[in-house]
């Protein structure tokens, strides 16, 4: 769980299927808005995503995030804008990168002065900071901006679809993007005899190298009401291709 200022707070909640459904219903619209490009609108609330990937951090993006938060508080618009530190946005040559959503506006090479302008002009006054916006000149001389540039427009992220979108310190945002869905199905829907064979695919284990693997997990017994550590072995067939994993056992 995140405090919103990049700090990690232990999360000891016990979540039921109803709780998980409520988290998804509550947060999905906000997360979907972060992937929109509504440049012509003046939304009532904005999320300001600051890249906290390695390239941007080395270019002082965390200091930029701190400046954005201070300026937002100083401008008295904390109810209209929130700063989120996210994973790598990919375009390291433009670091530090800042994305204002749901507008879909990327600002490049943002420093403390740029952060103040983003708050005062864009967030507070709904005016784009045009000279800071990320842009690209095509071979025919036409200029495209922000999400329209080829680097972003041609990408279809799969494994990294959440990177640069969700707050990595906020587990609720991951749950809202269907994080732990396979685990939820295993604990609350499947019978014990179903879980091993069916969830090799649901858990993403189909890409492990062929072999025999040991799985250890601590689960809550819903009948006995206690926590138990359970060990199990499962076999990956030779028809499944290798991507990652650690073999452990005979």
* pLDDT of res. 230: 52
DSSP string, 99-149: EEETTTEEE-S--HHHHHHIIIIIITT----GGGB-EEE-TTS-EEEGGGS
In this structure, what are the phi and psi dihedrals at residue 119, rounded to the nearest 5 degrees?
A: -70, -50
Which residues span the domain enclosing 108?
17-176
- The model's pLDDT over 46-81, given as tens digits with 9 standing for 90+, comes to 999 999 999 999 999 999 999 999 999 999 999 999
Nearest alpha carbon to residue 135 among 244, 14, 39, 212: 39
Tokens of 150: 């080829």
Decide which of 159, 176, 193 is a domain's last residue.
176
Residues 60, 131 within the same domain = yes
Pick the more confident residue, 148 or 166.
Answer: 166
CATH for 30? 3.40.30.10
Pick the more confident residue, 8 or 233.
Answer: 8
Is 146 inside any structural domain?
A: yes
- The model's pLDDT over 82-120, given as tens digits with 9 standing for 90+, comes to 999 999 998 999 999 999 999 999 999 999 999 999 999
Tokens of 3: 């405090």
Tokens of 184: 């939820």
Nearest alpha carbon to residue 71 among 111, 6, 117, 133: 117
* CA end-to-end span of the chain: 38
- The model's pLDDT over 176-196, given as tens digits with 9 standing for 90+, comes to 999 988 888 878 887 765 655
Residues 162, 57 within the same domain = yes
Residues 157, 206 within the same domain = no
Residues 81, 156 within the same domain = yes
């Amino acid at each position: 769980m995140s405090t919103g200022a990049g700090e990690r707070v232990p999360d000891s909640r016990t979540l039921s299927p109803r709780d998980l459904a409520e988290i998804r219903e509550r947060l999905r619209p906000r997360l979907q808005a972060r992937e929109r490009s509504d440049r012509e609108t003046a939304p009532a609330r904005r999320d300001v995503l600051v890249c906290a990937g390695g390239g941007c951090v080395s270019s002082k993006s965390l200091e930029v995030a701190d400046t954005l938060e201070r300026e937002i508080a100083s401008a008295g618009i904390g109810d209209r804008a929130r700063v989120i530190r996210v994973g790598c946005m990919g375009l390291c040559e433009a670091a530090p990168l800042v994305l204002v959503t749901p507008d879909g506006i990327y600002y490049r090479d943002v420093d403390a002065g740029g952060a103040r302008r983003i708050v005062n002009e864009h967030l507070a006054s709904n005016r784009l900071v045009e000279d800071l916006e990320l842009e690209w000149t095509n071979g025919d001389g036409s200029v495209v901006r922000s999400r329209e540039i080829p680097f972003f427009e041609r990408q279809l992220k799969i494994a990294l679809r959440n990177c640069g979108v969700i707050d990595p310190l906020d587990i609720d945002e991951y749950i809202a993007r269907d994080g732990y869905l396979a685990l939820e199905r295993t604990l609350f829907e499947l019978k014990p005899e179903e879980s091993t064979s069916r969830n090799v695919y649901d858990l993403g284990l189909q890409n492990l190298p062929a072999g025999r693997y040991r799985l250890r997990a601590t689960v809550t017994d819903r009948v006995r009401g206690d926590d138990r550590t359970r060990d199990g072995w499962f076999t990956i067939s030779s028809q499944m291709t290798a991507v990652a994993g650690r073999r452990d056992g005979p």
